[in-house]
Chain A
Amino acid sequence: MRRKRNRQKKTHKSIRGFLWILPSFLGVTVFYLLPYADVVRRSFFGAVDNRFVGLDNYKMVIENTAFRLAVKNTFLFTLLCIPILIFLALLCAVALYKSKYGGIIKSAFLMPMALPAVSVALVWRILFHSQGLLNHWLAVVGIVGSDWMNTGNAFWILLVSYIWKNLGYDIVLWLAGLAGISTNIYEAARVDGAGERQCFFYITLPNLKPSLYTITVLSFLNSFKVFREAYLVAGDYPHESIYMMQHLFNNWFRSFSFDKMAAAAVMESVVLLALILLLQKAWDSAS
């Protein structure tokens, strides 16, 4: 009897819970899910003629060399930039944590985030042009520069640009994580004779693990935004080292290749799903 009531209460609660989500979910359905369903549908149909083609689009996309290049670059970029960013931000956060002037430095690091992409592109163009400022400075020091955006260097510029823009935010996120660790634990450890290094590895790091998931997801999300700058600086067809998925999507879009685009998008979301599940699992097991 009691059990039953309990269950009733639970179902009741569940509906109420969903009510909170409902407005958001309706909007998401209209503006995101419906379009997404349309994309999935399109991945099985011809681009303009709407003919059912089965898995042809997928096959076409997988065999497409431009697609392969874009996938390779995107993977490479993400795999490199996120760990570097997260690690650098952690270093800075630990160094800045509880220091007097940390706030000013942190603000400085945060500034780039507020800079609109268009302005960033303007600066980048002037800095990394083959006759640009960077080469000017290098020439002063006696180094022969290069045409940064049109060589393999473009990849590294993009990477630096990403870190430049997001370092501040990640530092803030880490700082928040650090602040969440109760000082009692440190004190207890110190009493037990733990050194600074030990404290860091055995207390700080494990306690920061829960933040890692959020930081990774957010850094991942922000890694997409770097495309804006890449696009604004180098256009539709940048150097092959920074030719990303979004370039490809963009170009496919222009040439009415919605079939390929949809198939690639579906594949991308499957990969995203897998990644997120993986991350979540790692995070769940941590906390």
Chain B
Amino acid sequence: MKHKNIKRITGLLLALALAAASFSGCSGKGGGNGADSAGNTVDGANGESAGGDSGERAMGRFLEEEVDTGVVFGNIYDMKRLEDGTIRLIGADADNGSKGAWDSKDGGASWEQAYEFPKEIEDSGDGYSDYVVLSQDGQAACAYNRIGGDAITTELYLLDKDGKARKIPYELPKSEEHGDVANLMMGICFLGNEQILVQDISDIVYQVNTADGSVKHTYEFDGSGGTHQIYTAGSQMVVVTEAEVLLYNTESGEQLPAEETLQKCVTESGFIHAVDTTDAGESMYYLTSAGLYHYKFGGSLMEQMIDGEMNSLGAPAFYPIALAVLDEQNILVAANDENASSAMGISLLKFAYSAETPAKPDKELKVYSLYENRDLGQAISRFRKEHTDIYVNYQVAMSEENGMTLSDALKTLTTEIMAGKGPDVLVLDGMPVETYVEKGILKDISALLAGSEGNYFEDIIHAYQDKQGQICAVPARFKIPMIQAGSAWYTPGENFDSFTGKKDALAKLDAGAVIEKFWYTCGAAWRKDDGTLDETKITEFLTKLKNAYGEYDSSVEDNVHTSMGYAEEGANPRLEQIQKTSFSYGQFDLAFGRANVSIGLAGDFEYGMMNAVNEKLTDGDYGLMPGQAEHVFVPEMTLGISSKSAEPETAEEFVKFLLSPEGQKINQSGGFPVEKEVFTSCVDGHKYTEQSSMVMSAGAGISEDESLSYEMEPTPQDAIDKITNLAESLTAPAFRDDVIKETVAEQGMKVLKGEIQPQEATNAIMQAVNIYLAE
């Protein structure tokens, strides 16, 4: 009876809602998102997918595969489908460094070199080719930077179909904005009728005749919106900025009215990375990180052909270079993909339409993290490639621009989990892990690790194992609190007491960062068995750090900020956080005497750098950061599976993948892998074996003279052993509780700045924390 009533009421309300919706025209969903409602269709079926529960499944999706070109490209400059159906690309062969054109006559399956760049534009001590573009008739235009004396000048060359070069008699005018610097070409684009567009360093675009070098039109943009990227579609010039798309008629040189549909879609889907057209400019295809779109000028058609969410297009470190639409069902994309399987990170992908594959994968796996995690994003895109039947929906709660606070994000997460709509896999990057485990939010996944003994750093992977042997959270990565200093300030293996006994050991460091870094190595020792904090330990922590920090010098702060090149505060909380605790950020200050020690969390190991810094020090060495707790590691990318997950098997498969060697070897500096072999390959510098002559030169922002040069070479065995032993020795997970950490950081900073006494700060900390712990 009661049930019936509820139903009736619901019906009534829904009717009311519908009536009101038609009245005020504001249906919460459905409107607005033009790209969404256009659907993911090529054959035009089922444009409006109303949640997928009505009617049968939509079929048809582009599947991605990596093209094996037989050449390892060090770079790809452009790629086009020519009029005769040949696909041509301009690239640089990574093996011998030579540049040239490659052709494929079979839709990208096999490639052969068409020509090598002629002598005039060969890379040599005299100059190098910088930008090369292709036209549909097979010509190429090349901006060649010639080095003569102290100046560089750009010359413009036209290559015919067979690679014969001719210099175009055109010279860039001097840039008004950058008077002294030589004006260089920063972009070129083919236009029909023997014309090309050339963009200079002040973003001015010249429409140049390729025959006589005469300039027909000049285009200038106002300075807002950052750089302007130019593309052509037929005789139209398409200018793209971060915020808008401008269109120009190149016949008349006039700007065309902005097209709203296009503008709106670009606003929603992001910066355009590549453009192609197949119909002389009536429509264009473009790539953004949200996928591939087809747009007909005038706004009559706008559809998303490929959803970037389901393939590499949406991966965080994927930067498309060129797009070639072969036909409606076959698309080639050349991209700079940091995590491509190819050695130089340049990959060529083919997207082929498969009518038999469901438009959306059957299974959806929701992955959640509070902060954007690039390692994870990359791993997801790799995982998607192998599991076309699984749609991985990665949600980042707190992004740069949404201004959501941690507390709000966690609240939303709580509601969703409780409503059974929560994520399947959680990256515990700020959630109270222990509370989650205690409340039964996370599933025991110890079975996943069974049989893997010896593959992982055992203490690390079992960081969250409870007394019953349950493991509800697993760190897939970890960071090591490290210290580097000359022997005057640090002796390897030294403990917290003796380290902090040296006055000024921590002098001139950023006060907030010092507290935060030592929080990791000390906090773990504060907890008493009953769950409360040990007051004496906190006082000791503050007193000793204050001693090692010495007098606060307010002039330091500005210094530290600029020299470390912090991102603008508040711009990206996560990035700021990483920089604040990072070990390597302090190394420059250490090397150039602005700090006595470098401390922080290390997530990767660059032997060359470590060595170069050591050489600048007297008896420099590195080791584990001292702290009240010893052998502490910081779990990163801690994974958990929701106990309410609708797809537990898929979730397990995903977590397994992240812990597998393949998932572990993805490295976007989010921490060391927990898998031992991958760890070794991560620190051994094997990637440098082939180019042992390369010299890395790293400079910090503060002064141009300050740079460290070191050879990039494989890590010597003793150094590998040392870092591996350090990792092996780690037993205690850092105390990760953001609420306590923030309180400690806030009060601790005041102590270091000399505003309050350690005892006062301890009281304040205990007061705040006691409320928290009592809850």
Contact = CB atoms under 8 A, between A and B. Distances in A.
Interface of A: 26-27, 29-30, 34, 47-49, 64-66, 69, 150, 235-237, 240, 243, 248, 250-258
A248 B775 contact: yes
B772 interface: yes
B774 A64 contact: yes
21 contacts: A27-B13, A48-B439, A49-B440, A64-B775, A66-B774, A66-B775, A150-B764, A236-B407, A237-B739, A237-B743, A237-B772, A240-B767, A248-B775, A250-B407, A250-B411, A251-B772, A251-B775, A254-B410, A256-B414, A256-B435, A257-B775
Main secondary structure on B side of the interface with A:
helix
A64 B774 CA distance: 7
B9 interface: yes
A252 B407 CA distance: 11
Given A26-B9, A235-B407, 9 more contacts: A26-B13, A29-B9, A65-B774, A69-B774, A237-B739, A237-B768, A248-B775, A254-B407, A255-B439
Contacts of A49: 440
Given A252-B775, A254-B414, A257-B775, A26 B12 contact: yes
Contacts of B414: 253-254, 256
Contacts of B410: 254
Nearest to B739: A237
A29 B5 CA distance: 11
A199 to B, nearest CB: 51
Nearest to B764: A150
A256 B441 CA distance: 9
Contacts of A26: 9, 12-13
A126 to B, nearest CB: 15
A29 B8 CA distance: 12
The 6 closest A-B pairs by CB, nearest first: A66-B774, A256-B439, A65-B774, A66-B775, A255-B435, A254-B410
Nearest to A66: B774
Contacts of A150: 764
B13 A30 contact: yes
Nearest to B417: A256
Nearest to B12: A26
Contacts of A27: 13
A46 to B, nearest CB: 9
A252 B441 CA distance: 15
Contacts, number: 67
Interface string B407-420: 10011001001100
A132 to B, nearest CB: 15
Contact of B775 (A34, A240, A255): A255
Interface of B: 6, 9-10, 12-13, 405, 407, 410-411, 414, 417-418, 432, 435-436, 439-441, 739, 743, 764, 767-768, 770-772, 774-775
Residue of B435, B441, B771 most packed against chain A (CB within 10 A): B771
Contacts of B767: 240
Contact of B739 (A236, A248, A252, A253): A236
Contact of A240 (B9, B435, B768): B768
Given A27-B13, A255-B435, A258-B418, A48 B441 contact: yes
Contacts of A69: 771, 774
A222 B774 CA distance: 28
Contacts of B436: 256
B771 A254 contact: no
Nearest to B743: A237
Contacts of A253: 411, 414
Contacts of A257: 439, 775
A24 to B, nearest CB: 12
A66 B764 contact: no
Main secondary structure on A side of the interface with B:
helix
A66 B770 CA distance: 8
B774 A237 contact: no
Contacts of A64: 774-775
Residue of A48, A49, A64 most packed against chain B (CB within 10 A): A48
Given A253-B411, A254-B407, A254-B410, A237 B12 contact: no
Residue of A34, A235, A255, A257 most packed against chain B (CB within 10 A): A255
A69 B771 CA distance: 8
A108 B257 CA distance: 46
A94 to B, nearest CB: 42
B597 to A, nearest CB: 29
B771 A237 contact: yes
A254 B431 CA distance: 9
Contacts of A258: 418
A236 B743 CA distance: 11
Contacts of B9: 26, 29-30
B269 to A, nearest CB: 29
A237 B405 CA distance: 14
A244 to B, nearest CB: 12
A29 B6 CA distance: 10
Contacts of A251: 772, 775
A30 B441 CA distance: 28
Given A65-B774, A237-B771, A254 B411 contact: yes
Contacts of A250: 407, 411
A243 B432 contact: no
Contact of A48 (B13, B440, B770, B772): B440
Nearest to B405: A235
Residue of A30, A66, A237, A240 most packed against chain B (CB within 10 A): A237
B775 A47 contact: no
Contacts of A256: 414, 417-418, 435-436, 439, 441
A40 to B, nearest CB: 15
A82 to B, nearest CB: 25
B416 to A, nearest CB: 12
Nearest to A49: B440
Residue of A26, A240, A256 most packed against chain B (CB within 10 A): A256
A223 B130 CA distance: 66
A250 B414 CA distance: 11
Contacts of B771: 65-66, 69, 237, 240, 243
Contacts of A30: 9-10, 13
A253 B416 CA distance: 12
A48 B417 CA distance: 10
A227 B440 CA distance: 30
Contacts of A252: 775
Nearest to A69: B771
A47 B775 CA distance: 14
Contacts of B435: 255-256
A130 B693 CA distance: 55
Nearest to B771: A66
A72 B12 CA distance: 43
A83 to B, nearest CB: 27
A70 to B, nearest CB: 9
Contacts of B10: 30
A47 B439 contact: yes
A115 B676 CA distance: 57
B262 to A, nearest CB: 34
A34 to B, nearest CB: 8
B109 to A, nearest CB: 54
A253 B410 CA distance: 9
A248 B772 CA distance: 9
Nearest to B13: A30
Contacts of A248: 775
Nearest to A64: B774
A253 B407 CA distance: 10
Contacts of A66: 771-772, 774-775
Contacts of B405: 235
A65 B770 CA distance: 9
Contacts of A65: 770-771, 774
A258 B435 CA distance: 13
B739 A255 contact: no
A62 to B, nearest CB: 13
Nearest to A258: B418
Nearest to B434: A255
Contacts of B775: 64, 66, 248, 251-252, 255, 257
